[in-house]
Structure 1
Amino acid sequence: MGRVFRPGLKTLLGIVFVLMVFLALNFCLQFGHLATMQQDVRQIEAQVRELKQKNEELRRQLKQVQSDSYIEQMAREKLGLVKPGETRIITRSGQ
């Protein structure tokens, strides 16, 4: 009959030690991964805040350029239009 292998105390302690080292290294790697991901989240959140501010500014500008007063102002300044009954006066620069 063959002998049944029974690990000794040193062998069991060695296996436990190797397992603990493996688990500790794995934990450190996962913790580092988590820290990197948290940093990425902070950067993305900052970008989202920035884009929300820009979006709000663009909405404000759009509302402004769609207003009747702005359209009338641009029609007068850029196109030289006048309301009925008004007279357009053109000045010459340099005289």
Structure 2
Amino acid sequence: MKKSQQKIKPIKRRKSHLRPGTIFLLLLVFVVAGSSAWQLWKLHVSVEQQITQLTQEKEDLVKQENSLHEEIAQLNTPSYIEQLAREQLGLVKHGEILISPKN
């Protein structure tokens, strides 16, 4: 038996060359992705500012609501109703005499 001598051929590797069109296309994709990411970031910051502003407005409105509830409670007390009747309407209790200055 004879050994046949076979030559082992080395595998030729292709050199990967990036064509200018491919480079341009990749660059375009990165620019579009970066621009989109920047727009999303700006939108995120804007939304966060609006949330902060609306939260502050909500706190102010809650304080205003609480003060209005306190005012309603005060207006419904008999002593305050009597005070308003005396001052604004000039009413007097039974047996009292109203003394008012001349205008």
Give the aligned partner of residue 68 of structure 2. Answer: 58
Aligned-pair identity (%):
25
Q: What is the CA–CA distance in structure 1 between the aligned matches of 2:40 and 2:100, rounded to whole Å? A: 74
Q: What is the CA–CA distance in structure 2 between the aligned matches of 1:14 and 1:57, rounded to whole Å? A: 64
1:9 lines up with 2:18 in the alignment: yes
> Number of paired residues?
86
Give structure 1 stretches of 5+ with no counterpart: 1-7
Of 56, 59, 81, the match for 1:46 = 56
Q: What is the CA–CA distance in structure 2 between the aligned matches of 1:31 and 1:49, rounded to whole Å? A: 27
Task: Report 1:17-28 matches (<5 A).
Answer: 17-28=27-38
Amino acid at match of 1:88: I
C-alpha distance 18-89 of structure 1, shift in aligned 2 (>3 A) = closer
State the structure with more CA Rg: 2
How many angstroms does 1:89 deviate by? Answer: 4.6
Q: What is the CA–CA distance in structure 2 between the aligned matches of 1:41 and 1:52, rounded to whole Å? A: 16
Give structure 2 stretches of 5+ with no counterpart: 1-16
**Which secondary structure does the structure 2 equivalent of 1:64 belong to?**
helix
Report the TM-score, using the length of structure 2 for normalisation.
0.68
Q: What is the CA–CA distance in structure 2 between the aligned matches of 1:66 and 1:83, rounded to whole Å? A: 19
Conserved in 1, the CA contact under 8 Å of 2:92 and 2:98?
A: no
Cα RMSD of the aligned pairs, angstroms, is 2.1
